Amino acid sequence: MADISCDIVVVGAGVLGLSVAAELTARGHDVRVVDPGGPNASSVAAGMIAPAFESLMDGADAARSALLRDAAALWPAFAARSGLVLDMTPAGWRGADAGEVAEALSRLGFPVKAEGDVVRAESDVRIDAEAALKALKVGLGGALVVAAARSAEWKAEGWWVETTAGPIEARRLVIATGVAAALPGLPQSVASIIDGIEPIAGQIGRSCVPLTDRVVRGHGGYLAPAASGSLIGATMVRGSRETAADPAASARLVEVAVRLSGASVPEVEWRGGVRGATADGLPLAGPVGDGLHLALAPRRNGWLLGPLVARVVADGIEGRPRGAHAAALDPLRFSLPAG
């Protein structure tokens, strides 16, 4: 491959990297995305865009709930612009505590509808993760470079990124590499931020039987529709990079699926992925100096937060005033002086 020169190179093609690339391309920038291909944490996901139930599960305060709600509100326009299809069927919560759940969500400002032991959250929708990743890649056309990044070096006026397919020179560099180690050549201060991301392993199952027509959540897990059956999830094991299925966890998730669906669950194919998380559970999105930007560590909310992270990173690249939630996602927030 001949040397490539471009405005911006994004390293990593998970939901955050591809969302950033789509946003920047829509704004007229010449972008390249470098990724070796294959499954990643974004593809091993149910694609839930669920500000209400994520706020509930995390015990979020009003500010965090507002951030998640605003992130979800960006999705319809982002999907339309990027050729993605949203499943707008509202997600539900099933359990004996449905009334308490409805009250908690209402206090946080989420519109809900309670029917017996089920609560519907109008704000919570989903997207087919694998189909969406494919569509975002197709949208990039020749801007997707199937290769692994080996190193990155700042050279006064831009970044020189060595890849297995040849070098790429760009004025700006966006790191969206999930829980991978920092690329050699990055500033030590930035490498420390990247290497400080906590890995969280998780597993999700796929059944060939359609057990639900919408996302149904409850204590211990969820069910979600899939193109060829149903998804059953999910575990979160902090500090782990193990992607092999845990038989005990698999059995627990099947029990949850039976409880939520009221049906027997046939053989399940299990897949694992590793997500990244920060101390406060929010991603690292924005500039860190010398034309370098991060789009990392959304924990389990990569799909929900993708367009918001993309907007924050793109605004940072263009030097625009910071938006309402940029400070909350600032990659340097853990090292900034209090106040």
Residue 72 — φ and ψ, nearest 5°? -65, -35
Beta strand segments in 176-212, E: 198-207
Whether the CA torsion 249, 254, 259, 261 is positive or negative: it is positive
Q: What are 163's strand-pairing partners?
A: 149, 166
Nearest CA among 112, 113, 119, 122 for reference residue 97: 119
Each of the 339 residues of the chain gets a pLDDT tens digit; together they read 446 789 999 999 999 999 999 999 999 999 999 999 999 999 999 999 999 999 999 999 999 999 999 999 999 999 999 999 999 999 999 999 999 999 999 999 999 999 899 999 999 999 999 999 999 999 999 999 999 999 999 988 899 999 999 999 999 999 999 999 999 999 999 999 999 999 999 999 999 999 999 999 999 999 999 988 999 999 999 999 999 999 999 999 999 999 999 999 988 999 999 999 999 999 999 999 999 999 999 999 999 999 999 999 999 999 999 999 999 999 999 986 654
Contacts for 322-329: CB closer than 8 Å, 24+ residues apart: 324/70, 325/67, 325/70, 325/71, 326/285, 326/286, 328/63, 328/67, 328/282, 329/282, 329/283, 329/284, 329/285, 329/286
Residue 295, helix vs strand vs coil: strand
Q: Enumerate domains of the chain plus CATH numbers.
A: 4-42+132-197+279-329 (3.50.50.60), 198-277 (3.30.9.10)
- The answer to whether the pTM exceeds 0.85 is yes
